[in-house]
Structure 1
Amino acid sequence: MKRSTILLSALALAVSAGNALAATDDLDVRRLNSSLDQLSSDPVLGGYAQGEQARAREAISQVGQYKPKDKLHAHYLYIAERRVDTAKAVAQFQDAQAKSAQLDREHDGILLESSRLDAEMARRQLEQQRMQNQMIQEEAARLQQQGVEYSQALEQAKAEGDKARQVAAAQAKVANAAKKQAALAEAAARAMRDINSSDGGAPASTPATTPKKSKKSGGN
């Protein structure tokens, strides 16, 4: 009776120990699976390190194939834990790379936009400078044309002045000639009056008798 009781007690202890070991094994597997599930369901990191996550799940599956008392259990448990840690680290690294690439793209976009704005500003400045140069050229052409017109007007005024002086000189000559002619006419009229006055006051002179030539006899 006592022997049977001892055997039953030993069997119960063995079953309890086995259940405890199985529970410990399940806790390790659940812990690793929970950690890996948390990584895969993360909205930011879950999409990264897919290969590392698959290898970590494979290592966790290998842990479940051995009991804690087995020699390979601790070995595969260590490998599974390292692969889970590696999956997390690779996911974080890939996320950092993606963010860095995004920052680089944004930086390149900013530089491109800045270059575009600089080019647009330079184009506007060149266009403004071109318009200013065109206005200066048009003003210079206008002033040049105005100078030509002034020169032509001056030449025309000079020519008209010369012509007016020539006409005035000719008119002066005509006036002088008319004045001289009038003076001569007046002098002639005065002389005629003087002659007429002299003829009317003095006696008429006797005309001289011309002697007749004697005719010779036998002459012609």
Structure 2
Amino acid sequence: MKALNSALTALVLALAVAGVAHAAKDDLDIARLNNSLDQLSRDPTLGSYAQGEQARARDAIARLAQARSRDRAHALYVAERRVDLAKATAQLQDAQLKITQLDREHDQIQLDGSRREAEQARRELERQRLQYQMAQEEAARLQEEGAAATAQAQQAQAQAEQAKKVAAAQAKVANAARKEADLATQAARAMRSQMQGGDNSSDTPPPKKGQGKK
């Protein structure tokens, strides 16, 4: 009988020790999960994200603390997954926010680049407009100079035609004068010849009487 009582006492002690060890392990798991979740909530970057997932993880840890021995393994698995999901969700939301910020920065960079390109295009267009205006002014100047040169050429041609006509008239006058001079010369020669002929006939002595008859 004493041996049986001793055995029962030993069994009770063993169960008590096992229960204490199991309770201690439960406390360690709960403390580990709570510590992991506290680190997430205190994180300056991730703490403000996944608030709903953090709350559900704390509920899962509370259910683990209240779970019976036969339900503990499942409750522990759910609590660990909830804590992991809270961390992953916080990291995902932070990454999405960073991506959104990068997209905005990229859009701003593209907008700034588009503005610079638009400004460069506007300056180039203004430069081409000024060049076109200068070219038009130069063409107008050359056209005016060409018109003036054409007018001068026409005036010079008219003056040349007039000079040609004057020269032709002068040539006719000179030709007529030359003909008159020739005629005057010929008349003077004829008159001189006649005068010389008259002088020769007056110097010959008249024939004697009877010389003409035999």
Compute the TM-score of the two structures, normalised by the length of structure 1.
0.63
Measured after TM superposition, the shift of residue 56 of structure 1 is 0.3
Which amino acid letter does the alignment assign opposite residue 38 of structure 1?
Q
Q: What percentage of aligned pairs have identical amino acids? A: 61
Measured after TM superposition, the shift of residue 91 of structure 1 is 1.5
Measured after TM superposition, the shift of residue 124 of structure 1 is 3.0
**For residues 177 and 55 of structure 1, what CA distance do their matches in structure 2 show?**
137
Which amino acid letter does the alignment assign opposite residue 149 of structure 2?
Y
**For residues 73 and 164 of structure 1, what CA distance do their matches in structure 2 show?**
133
- Are 2:66 and 1:65 equivalent residues in the alignment? yes
Give secondary structure in 2 for the equivalent of 1:47.
coil
Give secondary structure in 1 for the equivalent of 2:154.
helix
Measured after TM superposition, the shift of residue 30 of structure 1 is 1.6
Q: What residue is the counterpart of 2:95 in the other structure?
A: 96
After TM superposition, the structure 1 = structure 2 runs for residues 117-156 of structure 1, keeping only pairs within 5 Å, are 117-156=116-155
Deviation per residue, 1:172-214 (Å, 9 max, x gap): 77788899999999xxxxxxxxxxxxxxxxxxxxxxxxxxxxx
**For residues 9 and 71 of structure 1, what CA distance do their matches in structure 2 show?**
24
**For residues 82 and 176 of structure 1, what CA distance do their matches in structure 2 show?**
135
Q: Any gaps of 5 or more consecutive residues in structure 2?
A: 185-214
**For residues 87 and 116 of structure 2, what CA distance do their matches in structure 1 show?**
43
Which amino acid letter does the alignment assign opposite residue 31 of structure 2?
R
Q: What residue is the counterpart of 1:52 in the other structure?
A: 53
Compute the TM-score of the two structures, normalised by the length of structure 2.
0.65
**For residues 71 and 14 of structure 1, what CA distance do their matches in structure 2 show?**
16
Give secondary structure in 2 for the equivalent of 1:43.
coil
**For residues 29 and 62 of structure 2, what CA distance do their matches in structure 1 show?**
11
**For residues 31 and 158 of structure 1, what CA distance do their matches in structure 2 show?**
116
CA RMSD of aligned residues (A): 4.1
Q: Which has the higher helix share?
A: 2
**For residues 82 and 41 of structure 1, what CA distance do their matches in structure 2 show?**
20
Moved more, 174-183 or 72-81: 174-183
